[in-house]
């Protein structure tokens, strides 16, 4: 929803029978040549409508900018949270934030995974239409244009947390200052005296990962250091990726004395690669992670990392989507919460 | 639900208007001196019923053993999962298992936390009555007798995973062979040559934790070793507890050469205590964990631990509760999945 759309919702009367969109349900039904209850079934994601009818009705809803009114409906008891991948302690931090807000608001949390695809499937969308949550929070996951239109016509608000793609100004979203985080991590290493600093990113399709690497570059360039493309690698956000790319970097003839990783799990993979090669951390290799998951404090040595306030970000996303559902205009529809460097014991001046 | 109750449900006709319990809804209404729609509201957890009326109706439902029929109702789209504490990678493994089954069955997962209390609150129960899930899975959490009666009268089945208390034969539950796990962990240390072996348990109120310590004792006794009460400690399942009790054990004049911890997070706390005292793992101290969370492989040195198949346990719990809801009699209403020892690099023969 663009700021302009949010604005227009503000200006509408908050109750009454006036249709929100340009057409009433009866008009949509007439145009589609079906009964009003059939349109209602489509709006509610019911399965007992022929596919051809369903897509004709969806098309008309979209074309007429139909918007269901929430006023007369029973207050929703649910809040939907969708992950791209339901994995690792990372997801746990996010779940905890959304659960905090859900509990405060007397809502129950519905959890889904789009199972490795970056967009949730149509089955999921049908489920959302049927259960009518108070809002939808998508984590590292995005809806396509048709899915967005479906939710909008049912007046189900949605926000994206830490979007994988570039949601533009259209979709409200919550992120973190990834570029600043990359800058702070790399500056810390430069100030310790490191000159050959490797970096391991996440997938290039994820904007958060690109921003971190750009911050790394900026730190080197503003310090007057050369950016060596050989030291810039990309993997995925898993431990295995940190291990494999860590080995690759540490086996270079002129190996880096420090590595800034895309997240804490990758950093632990680099720990393992260093152990395997007999390199000590931080004496022979400094490592900086990203996220500050609880385990960053527990590993040996405790990990220097860029803290991303995941729980707070999830809380902000949940509050934003509920505000949108209540026709309260949020202060901003794109918010980035601050990252901060947490220095522990995995970084030290280089020994050579 | 006892096996006998499960049995009795099997023998009832699977459709038709015969009331399942001893009384119809109309009879309950008459006895309570209210209208049938009021009883219906209570059954659906609606808020618009006076508290006194609600408790009178609940009492009659319980006394008459009323059981709502599922047959006529729309198939539920939801599966409820409740945690005692929504924390750590442990919960993530469980969520993943339930989500696997939910996805296979086209159900959405509703996630709640009883926030540190061992029983979920009445607000949660009211929510469940209103949303009518296909089933409820409680993790390390239990319902009191009144709450059980409420779910039973609405024909909402529930199971407990890894029960904190002793659910007896009444509540269907899924656990792991905790005693066997404690035995295997301690035998491994005895076979390496350790004689002074410390143990850190979880809270005494949790049966899983008691069983692990009893397994530890059995291993020592069957090996003809003395059980030294000074080496048996209890904490909670967090990292901090492992650290604090680890320091305590390692500062004993005749310190243990090995420690078996209540879970992997405690084991990492012991790692930290050892680092602080300058003791190397495994040269100066062997450590065995419990759970085999992903991080057990990633820490340095990789942790020897007792694998508990959390994801499989969660899957089994989800399948069991759905079977109960479909009036399929499960093979058993208490299942323990096998634990297994995973030997990595945190255990070795004692150096002294």
pLDDT in tens, B59-108: 888 888 787 765 544 567 899 999 887 877 889 999 999 999 998 888 99
Q: How far is CA B329 from the centre of its chain?
A: 22
What tokens does A167 get? 């949601």
Contacts of B103 in chain A (CB under 8 A): 113, 115
A108 to chain B: which residues are within 8 Å by CB?
A: 110-112, 127, 131
Spatial contact of B305 and B288, defined as CB atoms under 8 Å apart: yes
pLDDT at residue A344, rounded to an integer: 96
Give the model's pLDDT for residue A16: 33
What pLDDT was estimated at residue B58?
A: 83
> Is A98 a residue whose pLDDT tops 90?
yes
**Given a cut of 90, is residue B44 above it in pLDDT?**
no
Burial class (CB in 10 A: 0-12, 13-18, 19+), B209: buried
Q: Is A115 on the interface with B (CB under 8 A)?
A: yes
Tell me the per-residue pLDDT of B112-136, one tens digit each, with 9 for 90 and over: 887 655 567 777 888 888 888 999 9
Chain A residue with the nearest C-alpha to that of B85 = A96
A residues 92..111 contacting B (CB < 8 A): 92, 95-96, 99, 103, 106, 108-111
Query: Binning pLDDT at 50, 70 and 90, where does residue A4 land?
Result: very low
Judge residue A18's burial from the number of C-beta atoms within 10 Å of its C-beta, 0-12 exposed, 13-18 middle, 19 or more buried. Answer: exposed
Mean pLDDT of all residues belonging to chain B? 85
Task: Name the residue facing A299 among B87, B127, B299 (closest C-beta).
Answer: B299
Cα(B83)–Cα(B80) distance, integer angstroms: 10
Cβ-Cβ contacts under 8 Å between A and B: the total is 108
DSSP bridge partners of B159: B137
Concatenated DSSP letters for A299-314? SSSPPEEEE--HHHHH
Average pLDDT of B169-196? Answer: 93
* Tokens linked to A241: 């990726």
Task: Average the pLDDT over B167-181 and give the result.
Answer: 84
For residue A169, the model assigns a pLDDT of 61
Answer whether B295 sits within 8 Å of A91, measured CB to CB: no
**Residue A169 in contact with residue A3, Cβ under 8 Å?**
yes
Interchain proximity A89–B87, CB inside 8 Å: no
pLDDT band at A140 (very low <50, low <70, confident <90, very high): confident
| Average pLDDT value for residue range B309-325 | 93
Q: If DSSP codes are grouped into helix, strand and coil, which group holds residue B302?
A: coil
What pLDDT does residue A90 have? 86
Taking 50 as the threshold, does the pLDDT of residue A26 lie above it? Answer: yes
pLDDT tens digits, B247-256: 999 999 999 9
Residue % of chain A over a pLDDT of 90: 49
As a whole number, mean pLDDT of residues A277-306 equals: 95
Inter-chain CB proximity B77 and A239 less than 8 Å: no
pLDDT in tens, B135-158: 999 997 778 888 888 888 888 999
**For every residue of B166-215, which 3-state class applies, written as one string?**
CCCCCCCEEEECHHHHHHHHHHHHHHCCCCCEEEEECCCCCHHHHHHHHH
Phi, psi at A166, each rounded to 5°: -110, 105
Predicted confidence at residue A48, as pLDDT, reads: 83
Residue B100: CB atoms within 10 A of its CB come to: 18
* A131 closest CB neighbour out of B86, B108, B295: B108
Report the first-to-last Cα separation within chain B, whole angstroms.
54
Segment A121-126 mean pLDDT: 80
**Rounded mean pLDDT of B307-316?**
95
- The dihedral of CA A229, A232, A234, A240: what is its sign? positive
Characterize A77-112 residue by residue with b for buried, 16 or more Cβ atoms within 10 angstroms of its Cβ, and e for exposed: bbbbbbbbbbbbbbbbbbbbbbbbbbbeeebbbbbb
| Residues of chain B neighbouring A91 (CB-CB closer than 8 A) | 92
Cβ contact, residue pair B300, A295, below 8 Å: no
What's chain A's average pLDDT? 85
Contacts of A123 in chain B (CB under 8 A): 106
- How confident is residue B169, by pLDDT bands cut at 50, 70 and 90? low
Show the domains of chain B with their CATH numbers: 3-63 (1.10.260.40), 78-176+310-337 (3.40.50.2300), 178-308 (3.40.50.2300)
Q: Which residue of B has its CA nearest to A126?
A: B106
% pLDDT > 70, chain A: 88
Contact flag B110-A110 (C-beta cutoff 8 Å): yes
pLDDT of residue A309: 94
- For residues A351 and B13, what is the distance between their CA atoms, to the nearest angstrom? 79
CA-CA-CA-CA dihedral for A250, A255, A259, A264, to nearest 10: 0
pLDDT of A39? 86
Q: Tell me the C-alpha distance between A94 and A82, whole Å.
A: 11
Residue of B106, B243, B276, B295 for testing the chain A interface, max A β-carbons within 10 Å? B295
**Residues A198, A204, A205, CA angle at the centre, nearest 5°?**
155
């Amino acid at each position: 929803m663009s700021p302009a759309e949010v604005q227009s919702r503000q200006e509408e009367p908050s109750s009454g029978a006036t249709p929100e969109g340009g057409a009433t349900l009866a008009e949509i039904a007439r145009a589609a040549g079906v009964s009003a209850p059939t349109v209602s079934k489509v709006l509610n994601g019911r399965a007992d409508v022929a596919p051809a009818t369903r897509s004709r009705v969806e098309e008309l809803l979209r074309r007429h900018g139909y918007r269901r009114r929430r006023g007369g409906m029973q207050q929703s008891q649910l809040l939907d949270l969708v992950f791209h991948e339901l994995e690792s302690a990372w997801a746990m931090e996010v779940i905890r934030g959304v659960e905090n807000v859900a509990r405060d608001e007397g809502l129950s949390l519905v959890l889904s995974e789009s199972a490795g695809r970056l967009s949730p499937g149509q089955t999921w969308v049908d489920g959302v239409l049927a259960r009518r949550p108070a809002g939808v929070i998508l984590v590292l996951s995005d809806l396509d244009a048709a899915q967005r239109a479906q939710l909008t016509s049912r007046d189900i608000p949605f926000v994206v947390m830490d979007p994988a793609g570039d949601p533009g100004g259209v979709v409200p979203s919550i992120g973190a200052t990834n570029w600043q985080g990359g800058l702070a991590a790399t500056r810390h290493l430069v100030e310790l005296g490191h000159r050959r600093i490797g970096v391991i990113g996440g997938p290039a399709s994820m904007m958060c990962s690109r921003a971190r690497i750009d911050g790394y570059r900026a730190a080197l360039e503003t310090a007057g250091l050369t950016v060596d493309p050989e030291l810039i690698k990309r993997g995925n956000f898993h431990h295995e990726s940190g291990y494999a790319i860590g080995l690759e970097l540490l086996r270079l003839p002129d190996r880096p004395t420090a590595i800034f990783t895309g997240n804490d799990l990758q950093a632990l993979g680099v720990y393992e690669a260093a152990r395997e090669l007999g390199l000590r951390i931080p004496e022979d290799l400094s490592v900086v992670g990203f996220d500050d998951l609880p385990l960053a404090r527990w590993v040996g040595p405790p990990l220097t990392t860029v803290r991303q306030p995941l729980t707070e970000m999830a809380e902000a996303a949940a509050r934003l989507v509920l505000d949108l559902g209540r026709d309260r205009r949020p202060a901003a529809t794109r918010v980035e919460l601050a990252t901060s460097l947490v220095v522990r014991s995995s970084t030290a001046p280089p020994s050579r």
